[in-house]
Amino acid sequence: MTMPLRNVSAAAWPFRSVLIANRGEIALRILRSVKELGLQAAVVYHAADAGSPAVRAADHAVEITGRTPVAAYLDGTQIIAAAKQVGAGAIHPGYGFLSENAGFARAASDAGLIFVGPTPDAIDLMGDKVRARAFVAKHGFPIAPSAIEDDDPATFTERAAKVGFPILIKPAAGGGGKGMRIVREASALPEELARTRSEGQRYFGDGRLYVERYVENPRHIEVQVLGDAHGNVVHLYERECSVQRRFQKIIEETPSPALSADERTRICAAAAGIARAAGYRNAGTVEFIYGKGEFYFLEMNTRLQVEHPVTEMVTGVDLVREQLRVAAGEPLGYGQADIKTQGHAIECRIYAESPARGFTPTTGPILALRVPAGEGVRVDSGIVQGRPVTAAFDPMLAKVIVHGRDRNESRARAHAALGHFVLLGCETNTGFLRRLVDHQAFAEGQIHTGFLDAHPEIAAEPPLSADTRAKLLAVAALSQRAVRDAADKVPPLYAAMGGWRN
């Protein structure tokens, strides 16, 4: 199921080349859509990513430098210079890094480049969590009880306590779960406010805070929206993102198993209404906290989301293609009634980490890599055999996305696909993900943001029998050349006997 291309003849494009200002799986994902549209794809890369699949597949690749690899991808001036160097007419930021940086979007525009994303003003408005909440409330959409530091810094602690415990402290400029803290009693509030302010300053260069009522074990539901420069806005339905660790998503799916048809209509209409009120253009995601039939606005991500493939799987809409069309000035060319969904999709994020050791990041060489394939299976990956997994970047390595006729078939396909994902040389969370999608509570759709805390057994490695452990150790030992050479070596006494036989 794929929606038809509209108004995208080669002569109509205001740019012929797109610079992808990102790395890893998302760079390769964007590159694929760029090339399918007949455009040229350029990438920037730090030396740590030299030889990566995206660099190999690009029409042009420009090396960038920085004090650290991450710093290189955050250097907007250097990236814009790279775009000009290769003659790119547009920049696609992907997600993370500079994707929600209004200053970068303005600088790109000032340099004569088209930023594939919302306007800088929209990023400023919706990217600032405090301004966004005020905007949403002003337009009559539901927000959780809260207190904002900017309203009166001198009374902020007192007003925060009056919201009612437990409360959630957030950096005003935050995102991705960084710096967030749950406070359950008044005595801990001053210290936690100070710690969150410090982290907000460190992560985002902005120490402003706000707090909101913390809903225990809610569901995290987000809605994909898409708008053009002609005032058209549609939603592409919801995604459930409740299974998280440390406020970071692990599994996403659509449709949500929690919503009734009426609730789905209301939450999707609210998301589209927020985007429409903001004059939003390009792809974005409106996130909500949901529980007991009620939902509250959480935040808006003014970019493409990591989990966008599940929406693509059920709607047939290539979201990157649509981003590029909107950036080129094209109208959407379709309305809400034209967007249909089919079946159920689940995305599992493959991380280089050890769930049994508190989700500690892991590193190592990729000695062998095999990815699943087959009906209803898609893998978005930016890694390749022979390359190392380092601590230089976020530990997400790949995404396994599956589609089925219903949730049960989709879950079964996820379990099977994860079993066929093989990466040797670096520990990943693949086994953990298989246990998760096979867990009875997950199978029944009984998930919430505290799901993993409620089921710590999922993260624990299953015990090995003495026999299995001995066999694994033997295989590991025999995989070493020195051990094999020692086992095959003939002792000198017997070697001296030559070909003698008794």
pLDDT in tens, 122-141: 999 998 888 998 999 999 99
Cis omega (within 30 of 0) on the bond before 166? Answer: yes
Q: Please count the helices (runs of H) and the strands (runs of E) in the chain.
A: 19, 23
pLDDT at 8: 53
Task: Give residue 499's pLDDT.
Answer: 66
Least confident range from 34-43, 147-156, 243-252, 446-455: namely 147-156
Instruction: Please determine, for residue 3, whether its predicted confidence score (pLDDT) is greater than 80.
Output: no
pLDDT over threshold 90, residue 231: yes
Residue range 264-287: mean pLDDT, rounded:
98
Q: What is the pLDDT of residue 176?
A: 62
* Lowest-confidence region among 102-116, 123-137, 199-213: 199-213
Q: What would the pLDDT profile of 297-354 be if each residue is shown by its tens digit?
A: 999 999 999 999 999 999 999 999 999 999 999 999 999 999 999 999 999 999 999 9
Q: What is the pLDDT of residue 253?
A: 98
Predicted local distance difference test score (pLDDT) of residue 205 = 80
Q: What pLDDT does 494 receive?
A: 72
Strand, coil or helix: 498: coil
Main-chain phi, psi angles of 268, to 5 degrees:
-70, -40
Location of structure tokens 């599940």: 310
The segment(s) of the chain belonging to CATH 3.40.50.20 are 10-116
DSSP 334: -
Query: CATH for 219-458, among 3.40.47.10, 3.20.190.10, 2.60.120.560, 3.30.470.20?
Result: 3.30.470.20
Output the average pLDDT for the chain: 93
d(CA 105, CA 476): 51
pLDDT band at 471 (very low <50, low <70, confident <90, very high): confident
> Whose CA is closest to 438, among 346, 354, 374, 344?
346
The answer on pLDDT for 500 being more than 70 is: no
CATH architecture of the domain formed by 10-116: 3-Layer(aba) Sandwich (3.40)
Q: Where in the chain is the domain with CATH 3.30.470.20?
A: 219-458
* pLDDT score for 204: 79
Tell whether the model's pLDDT for residue 1 goes beyond 60. Answer: no
Determine the pLDDT at residue 445: 96
SS (H, E, C) 53-108: HHHHHCCEEEECCCCCHHHHHCCHHHHHHHHHHHCCCEEECCCCCCCCCHHHHHHH
Report yes or no: 223 and 310 within 8 Å, Cβ to Cβ: no
pLDDT of 493 higher than 80: no
Q: Counting every residue, how long is the chain?
A: 502
- 393-436 confidence digits (pLDDT tens): 999 999 999 999 999 999 999 999 999 999 999 999 999 999 99
Cα–Cα distance between 345 and 52 in angstroms, integer?
28
**pLDDT over 60 (residue 255):** yes
As a whole-number percent, the residues of the chain with pLDDT over 70 amount to: 96
DSSP structure string for 246-306: TTEEEEEEES-TT--HHHHHHHHHHHHHHHHHTT--EEEEEEEEEETTEEEEEEEE-S--T
Query: Contact 94/21 with Cβ under 8 angstroms?
Result: yes
Range(s) of the chain covered by CATH 3.30.1490.20? 145-213
**Edge-to-edge strand order for the sheet containing 209-213?**
146-148, 209-213, 167-171, 181-183
Cα separation, 148 vs 448, whole angstroms: 26
State the pLDDT at residue 5.
46
Best CA proximity match to 37, nearest among 10, 56, 60: 10
In the predicted model, is pLDDT for residue 6 greater than 80? Answer: no
pLDDT of residue 269: 98
| The listed CATH number (3.40.50.920, 3.30.1490.20, 3.30.360.10, 2.70.170.10) that belongs to domain 145-213 | 3.30.1490.20
The Cα–Cα gap between 170 and 500 comes to 81
Q: Residue 38, CB half-sphere, CA atoms under 13 Å: how many?
A: 9
Exposure string of 403-423, with b = 16+ CB inside 10 Å and e = fewer, is: bbeebeebbebbbebbeebeb
CA atoms within 13 A on the CB side of 229: 12
7 pLDDT exceeds 70?
Answer: no
Instruction: Identify which of 399, 126, 396 has the alpha carbon closest to the alpha carbon of residue 279.
Output: 126
Average pLDDT over residues 443-470: 92
